[in-house]
Amino acid sequence: MVPGRSRIVGDSPVRKDAFEKVTGKARFVDDLSVEGAWVGRTVRSSEAHARLRAIRFDPAFDWSTVVVVTAADIPGENVIAAIADDQPCLVDGVIRHAAEPVAVIAAPDDRTAGEALRHVSLDTESLTPVLDHESSDQALKSYEILKGDVERGLAEADLIVEGTYRVGHQEQMYIEPQGIIAIPRQDGMLVQGSLQCPFYVHKALTRVLGLAGDEVVVAQTVTGGAFGGKEEYPSMIAAHAALAARKAGRPVRIVYDRREDVRATTKRHPATVRHRTGVMRDGRIVAMDVEVVMDGGAYVTLTPVVLSRGTIHAAGAYRCANTRIRSRAVMTNTPPNGAFRGFGAPQTLFAVERQMDRVARALGLSPLEVRRKNLIGVGDTTATGQLLTDSVGAREVLEAVATAGNVELRHAELENKPRVDGAHLARGLGLSVYLHGAGFTGSGEAHLRGKAAVALGRDGRFEVQVGSTEMGQGARTVLAQIAAEELGVPLDDVDVVTPDTSIVPDSGPTVASRTTMIVGSVVREAAAALGAELGAAYPSLELRAAAREHAIERGPLRVLREYRPPPDVRWDDAAYRGDAYPVYGYGANVVEVEVDLDTLQVEVTRCLAAADVGKAIHPQLVEGQVQGGTLQALAWGYLEELVLKDGRVQNDRMTNYLIPTTLDTPPIETILVERPYVRGPFGAKGVGELPMDGAAAALASAISQALGVEVDTLPATPERLLDLVRGSR
């Protein structure tokens, strides 16, 4: 279809899930009333590293009133299936972090379950934990990307600029904590809950329960946010609930409260990134040598792929002939880190963007000039040697924020402003530009071959059947828009079914900014094929009429399609070279701050966010993604800090792990850039993660200018800034 003709794509209709959510009709997992359901609670370790000798059950409690599940009750394998299969479902022998599940207790009600929990103790023998990733020597994965000759590039450079950057954990803090209900059935197990990836949970359950694929059904309930946090951990909770349900012979629901959720579930990986950059006097970068260390936590989980994305993004949105990126993820005795919006890229992009400011300062150039000189564009190659051929909005997003933010002038003005003794406020401006690979890394999409179906129902309406989940981001609406546009029917004629592994095909997980771009393209193909079939059956009828006729005369019709990776996308997994992603989204930020010199509190006074999303299928939702992601990035930059002591989370509540309130949210001026991607549906590229990538660096840069220091560690809390300011005197 010609983009100019579309009425549904590019418009911002009311979200499909708006009414039920706004009116409180939406049923979250904790709201479901399930006959005879018991409550499950988790017994956890409190030590970071120990040998588990025994679990003690205090005889003062009447254990006949509850059901207890330990590792010994697992009928299948004691493993939460992931990349390395190293994480047990319940500890059997060695405790590796301080919130590790050891047993599950199911009871008729909350109170009994809580009582029981208080009567369990662990008999352990302490082991010495590794708590700091910089001192861990247990690498679980490493990569090396080589392009050109970095040593020669450094030797030829006029100047070598070095910097070390550190970022901390980040908690997803979705509104709805994690929860699952498991319902035993004659022929297996039904599991429903708040989750991102029903087929991940499905696979994990078959392994733990020792059941066949068709004996396990996983269905999503209305999900109140995820941000990556419900990508892998729901497999753990589902396994616990299912084991308890199996033993109790009745449904068991496990819903975490906020504290348990913050203590136990996955977070963004802390990281340390070192840069050595060779530059010429004229501002050209001739060598980039980058070293990345990420903290994987106690188990492998998704860390290898998080590290992979972080590694590939470590050179940022710049062209450089000689690049070396060496990365490793190490294990520590802390709760495993995992998926979080951006998936490793925010960490390394923060570092490279701060490094670009250092380069600018070293050369006496403005941050904008240095970026303009080295920005990647069509015809350039990335660190992995990927030649960029189209849909490259890097220049547009940078120039868009530069113009709107009057960056050239403002930056110079603030730079040259004299410092006044006793002044109350200091101002600064920061800039960032970045890219984000859309879809799975490397050969991921080729291996996965995500499927999607579009079906005509008996009522003459259409249904999109995908495994992709709605978690607040708007997938249900956008996928319906794509199908409706392609079929040429009103949006109301198209529904997207709630993912249920017994109904929908496996479209792959709802991660990696891939849902609109990858799954959406398969949905579009399926819709086109269905439309063609209806057209062929009733050539004289309009599609809507043909659909009704077909439904009445011949019944329902369903077309299934699967993703075919473009033949010219090539990736060499062994050498880590080639087309790392089918395409990239591009983003840029300008952040202006005012720092209170008495308290070192930072206020963002202006924030611009430009995003090249290919095509905004639903501009309002895209803007929502950009604003929410930008805020999350700002907060990671100055506010959010997870405090661990002896490997235990100290601030496990919303009263001490602080996220921004409305009053802390600056107006975020969004600029959408559309450089269509020919293979995306209607030109769309992924947008979910992109806005998480750059605002923290722009913020740190603005604070750096305001205070005359270099902010290299996040979050830039007032306490850290005080140390920096004192150190610079």
Partner 1 sequence: MIHASTTAITRPRSLDEALAALEKSPGAVLLAGGTDLMVAWNAGERHLPERVVDLWSVPELATIGVAGDALHVGALATHSRIVGSPEVRAHAPALAEASRTVGAAQIQNRGTIGGNIANASPAGDTLPVLLAMDATIVVASRARGERPVPADAFWTAYRRTALAPEELIVRVEIARDRPQVLFRKVGTRRAQAIAKVSMALSLRRSAGGAVEDARIAWGSVAPTPVRARRAEDALRGKPLDAASIGAACAALPQDISPIDDIRSTREYRLHVAMAILRRALSGWVG
For 261-290, give the DSSP string.
HHHHS--PPPEEEEEEEEE-TTS-EEEEEE
Q: Which stretch binds partner 1 (CB under 8 A): 8-16, 474-482, 649-657, 702-710?
A: 649-657
Options 2, 175, 655, 727; binder of partner 1; rule CB under 8 A: 655
- Could you tell me which of 471, 486, 571 has the C-alpha nearest to residue 522? 486
- Could you tell me which of 452, 474, 438 has the C-alpha nearest to residue 525? 452
Half-sphere exposure of 338 (CA within 13 A, CB side): 24
* Chain length of the chain: 729
What are the Cα distances from residue 171, in Å, to 175, 204, 300, 311, 654?
Answer: 12, 24, 18, 22, 11
Specify the residue, 185 or 653, whose C-beta has the smaller distance to partner 1.
Answer: 653
Residues 237-266 that bind partner 1 (CB under 8 A): 259
DSSP 8-state symbol, 64 = G
For residue 110, state whether it binds partner 1 (rule: CB under 8 A). yes
Q: Which stretch binds partner 1 (CB under 8 A): 185-193, 288-296, 398-406, 659-667?
A: 659-667
Q: Which stretch binds partner 1 (CB under 8 A): 282-290, 470-478, 567-575, 650-658?
A: 650-658
For residue 186, state whether it binds partner 1 (rule: CB under 8 A). no
DSSP H helical ranges for 253-375: 258-264, 303-312, 345-363, 367-374
Which residue is it, tokens 């009522």? Answer: 459
Specify the residue, 53 or 111, whose C-beta has the smaller distance to partner 1.
Answer: 111
For residue 728, state whether it binds partner 1 (rule: CB under 8 A). no
> CB of 261: closest distance to partner 1 in angstroms?
14
In which region does residue 182 sit, left (phi positive, over 0), alpha (psi from -120 to 50) or beta (all else)? beta
What are the Cα distances from residue 587, in Å, to 497, 513, 609, 620, 646?
Answer: 32, 14, 7, 17, 38
Specify the residue, 110 or 390, whose C-beta has the smaller distance to partner 1.
Answer: 110
Question: How many other C-beta atoms lie within 10 A of the C-beta of residue 562?
Answer: 16
Specify the residue, 404 or 658, whose C-beta has the smaller distance to partner 1.
Answer: 658
Options 121, 389, 599, 728; binder of partner 1; rule CB under 8 A: 599
For residue 457, state whether it binds partner 1 (rule: CB under 8 A). no
For residue 425, state whether it binds partner 1 (rule: CB under 8 A). no
> CB of 663: closest distance to partner 1 in angstroms?
4
Question: How many other C-beta atoms lie within 10 A of the C-beta of residue 381?
Answer: 16
For residue 719, state whether it binds partner 1 (rule: CB under 8 A). yes
For 124-174, give the DSSP string.
EEE-PPP--GGG---EEEEEEEEES-HHHHHHH-SEEEEEEEEE-------
Specify the residue, 34 or 725, whose C-beta has the smaller distance to partner 1.
Answer: 725
Q: Which stretch binds partner 1 (CB under 8 A): 144-152, 315-323, 655-663, 672-680?
A: 655-663
Specify the residue, 2 or 60, whose C-beta has the smaller distance to partner 1.
Answer: 60
Is 309 buried (19+), middle (13-18) or exposed (0-12) by CB count in 10 A?
buried
Specify the residue, 390 or 719, whose C-beta has the smaller distance to partner 1.
Answer: 719
Specify the residue, 111 or 564, whose C-beta has the smaller distance to partner 1.
Answer: 111
For residue 718, state whether it binds partner 1 (rule: CB under 8 A). yes
Q: Total residues at the site for partner 1 (CB under 8 A)? A: 27
For residue 62, state whether it binds partner 1 (rule: CB under 8 A). no
> CB of 43: closest distance to partner 1 in angstroms?
16
Question: How many other C-beta atoms lie within 10 A of the C-beta of residue 321?
Answer: 16
The site map against partner 1 for 600-639 (x = CB under 8 A) is -x-------------------------------------x
Specify the residue, 444 or 637, whose C-beta has the smaller distance to partner 1.
Answer: 637
Specify the residue, 299 or 657, whose C-beta has the smaller distance to partner 1.
Answer: 657
For residue 280, state whether it binds partner 1 (rule: CB under 8 A). no
> Can you tell me the distance from the alpha carbon of 356 to that of 51, in angstroms, rounded to the nearest whole number?
47
For residue 650, state whether it binds partner 1 (rule: CB under 8 A). yes
> CB of 424: closest distance to partner 1 in angstroms?
7
> Can you tell me the distance from the alpha carbon of 610 to that of 623, in angstroms, rounded to the nearest whole number?
10
Q: How many contiguous H segments (helices) and E segments (strands) does the chain have?
A: 18, 27
For residue 727, state whether it binds partner 1 (rule: CB under 8 A). no
For residue 170, state whether it binds partner 1 (rule: CB under 8 A). no
Beta strands 38-44 and 462-465, pairing class:
unpaired
Specify the residue, 35 or 421, whose C-beta has the smaller distance to partner 1.
Answer: 421
Handedness of CA 155, 578, 342, 650 (dihedral sign): negative
For residue 420, state whether it binds partner 1 (rule: CB under 8 A). no
Asked if residue 503 lies in contact with residue 465, where contact means CB atoms within 8 angstroms, the answer is: yes
Specify the residue, 11 or 723, whose C-beta has the smaller distance to partner 1.
Answer: 723
Options 139, 151, 722, 728; binder of partner 1; rule CB under 8 A: 722
Options 364, 422, 539, 727; binder of partner 1; rule CB under 8 A: 422
For residue 658, state whether it binds partner 1 (rule: CB under 8 A). yes
> CB of 394: closest distance to partner 1 in angstroms?
34
> Can you tell me the distance from the alpha carbon of 426 to that of 577, in angstroms, rounded to the nearest whole number?
45
Asked if residue 147 lies in contact with residue 321, where contact means CB atoms within 8 angstroms, the answer is: yes
Write out the E strands in 565-688: 571-572, 577-578, 583-596, 602-612, 644-645, 648-649, 668-673
> CB of 155: closest distance to partner 1 in angstroms?
43
Is 661 buried (19+), middle (13-18) or exposed (0-12) by CB count in 10 A?
exposed
Q: Which stretch binds partner 1 (CB under 8 A): 152-160, 239-247, 334-342, 654-662?
A: 654-662
What are the Cα distances from residue 230, in Å, to 177, 180, 224, 450, 589?
Answer: 9, 11, 10, 20, 28
- Site residues, partner 1 (CB under 8 A): 110-111, 259, 422, 424, 597-599, 601, 639, 643, 650-651, 653, 655-656, 658, 660-664, 717-719, 722-723
